[in-house]
């Protein structure tokens, strides 16, 4: 007979267990960001918490305003410094290279016309032109990356200039011996100058002038981000002071007042300083660089016209235009003189309100008119078979086209010197208007941030 097991003696695993007590569910862990947001929300429900948030926001705004201002103005000051110290000097050097090469070609032709014994002063002038062009090319190469367009043109000029001088020396050697081959070498040299060297020099000048224009534009660009952030910072400071007045009925909070004053100074300094810089850099461009560009082209046109005038007599009709109807050098002379007249008219308009600038331009215009009249006299003599008479009209010591050309060249040189001074003065004034602003903005912004925090803490102390 089987009996049911005794409960008391039953194995432990068979005994009934009492139900486990109920436990509360564990809340999920919140992230650090959620906790921070919750703390800020809780703090914002109290006035001390709200004041802390206001102080932090004000400090952040004025610090950001100062930092952005310092960065943007430092960038514009750097561009203005490039305008004064790098871009414009390189542009001026490129123009001087062009002028030196053109003058060397003109002088070589004048010396050849003088006969077997080239005048000493003509030879020295040619040598100075070649030396000056070589020196400026070395200087430009030292300040230019060879991979750039300017670097490529400088390389071309350095390679081709010795070939040109070699042709000139061969022309001189043959001319001293009375050989007609000297004229051919001189024409080849002129072709080398006209077709290779001068175009490369012109491209170099255009590249450097373009870089100058870009630097000028970068220096004059408005710092909109800085101005906008400054307005926002000031608006926030005014709002904070108005909020303080409405809650405490106190007109001034010294800390916030100092922060507002410092931010206002930065904003006004930024607006006025950059406006002055823009104005001066604009004046440097309009009254300086644009006039320099026109005058440089005018002087180069006069040099090219003089070279072609000389070569007309050297070639004696041996070189014709592609259609075979006219003398090539005489045709080129006419073209160059027409371009010279147009450039002088432009220069006169640009310098109309500046007596020191317009005076030399007026003298150049008068000398050009005189030059053209004497040239017509020389061409009449040459066409009539009087070569010696024509040569005297071209290179003679008195009442010659050479004398008129020198007057044009001297007048343009004086005009260029004046416009260069105008550009340098205005550009330096523009650069100076930005001086100290980056450091000053950063320092005043730091002062404003500290003052804002001190002002807010003064209010917080009333709750302790």
DSSP symbols for 49-82:
HHHHHHHHHHHHHHHHHHHHHHHHHHHHHHHHHH
For the four alpha carbons of 327, 330, 336 and 342, in that order, the dihedral sign comes to negative
Question: For residue 130, what is the DSSP state?
Answer: H
pLDDT of residue 54: 84
pLDDT of residue 238: 92
pLDDT of residue 7: 46
Buried b (16+ CB within 10 A) or exposed e, 180-206: eebbbbbbbbbebbbebbbebbbbbbb
- CB proximity list for 318: less than 8 A, separation 6 or greater: 183
Spatial contact of 323 and 232, defined as CB atoms under 8 Å apart:
no
Backbone phi, psi, residue 435, to 5°: -65, 135
What residues in the chain have per-residue pLDDT under 70? 1-32, 35-45, 249-251, 462-464
Burial class (CB in 10 A: 0-12, 13-18, 19+), 386: middle
Spatial contact of 390 and 313, defined as CB atoms under 8 Å apart:
yes
Spatial contact of 307 and 106, defined as CB atoms under 8 Å apart:
yes
| 3 state DSSP class of 320 | strand
pLDDT of residue 278: 93
**Angle (deg, nearest 10), helices 387-395 and 355-383:** 170
Spatial contact of 109 and 310, defined as CB atoms under 8 Å apart:
yes
- Closest Cα partner for 65 from 275, 245, 271, 276? 271
347 token code pair:
């220069």
CA 431 to chain centre: 12
């Amino acid at each position: 007979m089987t009996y049911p097991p005794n409960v008391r003696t039953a194995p432990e695993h068979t005994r009934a267990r009492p139900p486990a007590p109920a436990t509360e569910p564990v809340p999920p862990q919140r992230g650090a960001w959620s906790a921070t947001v919750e703390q800020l929300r809780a703090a914002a429900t109290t006035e001390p918490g709200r004041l802390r948030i206001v102080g932090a926001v004000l400090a952040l705004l004025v610090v950001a305003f100062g930092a952005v201002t310092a960065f943007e103005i430092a960038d514009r000051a750097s561009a203005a410094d490039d305008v004064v110290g790098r871009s414009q000097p390189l542009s001026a050097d490129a123009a001087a290279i062009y002028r030196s090469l053109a003058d060397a070609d003109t002088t070589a032709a004048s010396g050849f016309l003088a006969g077997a014994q080239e005048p000493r002063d003509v030879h020295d002038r040619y040598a100075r032109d070649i030396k000056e062009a070589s020196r400026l090319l070395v200087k430009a190469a030292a300040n230019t990356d060879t991979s750039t367009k300017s670097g490529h043109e400088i390389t071309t000029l350095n390679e081709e200039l010795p070939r040109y001088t070699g042709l000139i020396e061969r022309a001189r050697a043959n001319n001293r011996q009375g050989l007609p081959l000297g004229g051919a070498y001189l024409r080849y040299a002129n072709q080398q100058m006209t077709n290779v060297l001068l175009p490369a020099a012109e491209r170099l000048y255009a590249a450097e002038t373009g870089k100058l224009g870009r630097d000028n534009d970068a220096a004059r660009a408005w710092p909109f981000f800085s101005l906008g952030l400054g307005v926002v910072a000031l608006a926030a400071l005014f709002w904070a002071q108005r909020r303080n007045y409405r809650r405490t009925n106190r007109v001034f909070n010294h800390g916030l007042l100092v922060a507002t004053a410092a931010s206002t100074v930065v904003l006004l300094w930024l607006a006025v300083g950059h406006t002055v810089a823009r104005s001066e850099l604009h004046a440097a461009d309009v009254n300086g660089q644009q006039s320099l560009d026109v005058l440089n082209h005018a002087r180069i046109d006069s040099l090219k016209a003089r070279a072609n005038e000389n070569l007309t007599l050297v070639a004696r009709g041996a070189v014709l235009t592609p259609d075979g109807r006219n003398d090539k050098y005489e045709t080129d002379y006419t073209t160059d003189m027409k371009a010279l007249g147009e450039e002088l008219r432009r220069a006169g308009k640009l310098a109309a309100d500046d007596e020191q600038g317009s005076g030399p331009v007026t003298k150049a215009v008068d000398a050009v008119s005189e030059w053209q009249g004497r040239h017509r006299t020389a061409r009449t003599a040459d066409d009539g078979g009087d070569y010696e008479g024509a040569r005297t009209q071209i290179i003679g010591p008195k009442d010659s086209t050479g004398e008129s050309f020198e007057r044009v060249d001297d007048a343009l040189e004086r005009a260029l010197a004046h416009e260069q001074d105008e550009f340098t003065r205005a550009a330096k004034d523009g650069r100076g208007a930005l001086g100290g602003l980056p450091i000053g903005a950063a320092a005043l912004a730091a002062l404003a941030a500290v003052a804002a925090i001190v002002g807010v803490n003064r209010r917080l102390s009333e709750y302790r």
